[in-house]
Amino acid sequence: MALDATMRTRTETDSLGSMEIPADAYWGIHTARALENFPIAKRPISVYSDFVRALAMVKQASARANGEIGVLSTEKADLIDRAAQLVIDGKYHDQFVVGVIQGGAGTSTNMNANEVITNIALELAGREKGDYAFLGPIDDTNRSQSTNDVYPTAIKIGLSLTLKSLLEELDLLRGAFLDKAAEFHDILKVGRTQLQDAVPMTLGQEFHGFATTLGYDLQRLNENAYLLYEINMGATAIGTGITTHADYAPAVLRHLREITGLDLATAADLVESTSDTGSFMSFSASLKRSAIKLSKICNDLRLLSSGPQAGLGEINLPAMQAGSSIMPGKVNPVIPEVVNQVAFSVAGADLTVTMAVEGGQLQLNAFEPVIAHSIFQSITWMRQAMWTLRVNCVVGITANRERLGAMVGSSVGVVTALTPFIGYAASAALAKTALLTGHNIADLVVEAGLMTRDEVMKQISPARLSGLETMTAAIPVVVAAEDVVDETV
């Protein structure tokens, strides 16, 4: 780490030697070494503010537990507690500078937290930064802990905090689709299967389907939140609890539950919990499920708005920016497109998590940093994608009523509603005639003497065609199907 020659520094020492640290930095030598060793992502852990807050929560709960059981003086425990609270409140996050991708199973992140909180506490005590003889980042702030229980616990708490904001945004997006479903409830359109014309439905039903699928994802993500509630605090290095007091694990759990408001529980087998990261894989999979389903909805929005002249052109998406540097007047569906790309990224991140979980060896998984980064990024990007989809797209969608009406009026798909009354063969023959001649299905049915005009119009009313009103009984078939086939060949 290169320092300006004019910069004021302080000297810190670890087992590898000494380094000059910027005098105003709250981080110390362990963080400085990480900055030199891992210039990979160029993204500090502070980009995930909930993760930083979670690290401080773990340190605060540990300080309270250590003070309570008497392995840390009341003065030191209080100083660490107060310093951690400042970080929880959003202060000093710019001091969490180590990269999101790092070797060492998260040790650099844990030490960054230890050093920052320690130096904040030293200032609160009226001491100079780096006065570790008075209060130390390892002996005091990290008392009764190891990276191997602090780091995964902080990841789970941080993800739980971040998940809350994702769920809130997902619910708002679901509500936006419900609003559009109500607005479009009376607009008939042609449904499609395999990109071919199918039977009619309402545009409101289509948008209600979007809202329903998002509602299911809301339920699944809420249900899967429990995967993050099992922690391994007290496990220390490999799950045996070495260096901890027997009362520490229950004490730190109690304080963490109080601080976070989460229904946390200590794992029954700390050795297993310290080495296994399967819960992250399962949680990541639930995020991928939601992202992929959201991407499918965006595919549909792009198709429905395609054109506007030579495509489906059923709906209009808000025009957000010029779509071409060469084609005047072109406007692209940029918001659904960016959501699609977020979904692709989430799917890729899920594979990364899967491979990192598989890569664990013996009593520890060294690859939790990339697991944490992948999932935090997925949640963060998904939340922002949902926000922009709702605010910059869904709320401004309008329907092309005339075009939709014209397509339904000329669609042979309406004949499906008449099959209970005239039979499948007759319906197929009439559909063929309508396609060849361009004649209206209703007119052809009446001309063939199969049904009266009133009977036809009743069965192809918007309520019947969309299934909002069901028929209670079929009227008798008027004429044999083969007679109609002969007439329409």
- Which sequence positions are flagged as catalytic? 324
Spatial separation of the C-alpha atoms in residues 451 and 416, rounded to whole Å:
14
Give the helix/strand (H/E) hosting 399.
Answer: strand 398-399
User: What 3-state DSSP class applies to 43?
Assistant: coil
Q: Are 246 and 336 in contact (CB under 8 A)?
A: no
Quick check: 175 and 160 in contact, CB under 8 A? no
User: Which residue blocks in 128-196 are alpha helix, DSSP H?
Assistant: 147-183
Position 113, amino acid? A
Burial label, 272 (beta-carbon count in 10 A; 0-12, 13-18, 19+)? middle
Q: Strand 188-193 and strand 398-399: pairing?
A: unpaired
Token digits of residue 338: 């960016």
* Among the listed residues 103, 122, 109, 1, the one whose alpha carbon sits nearest the alpha carbon of residue 46: 109
Q: CA triplet 102, 131, 100: central angle to 5 degrees? A: 15
Q: Say how far apart CA 404 and CA 409 lie, in whole Å.
A: 9
Q: Is 471 helix (H, G, I), strand (E, B) or coil?
A: coil
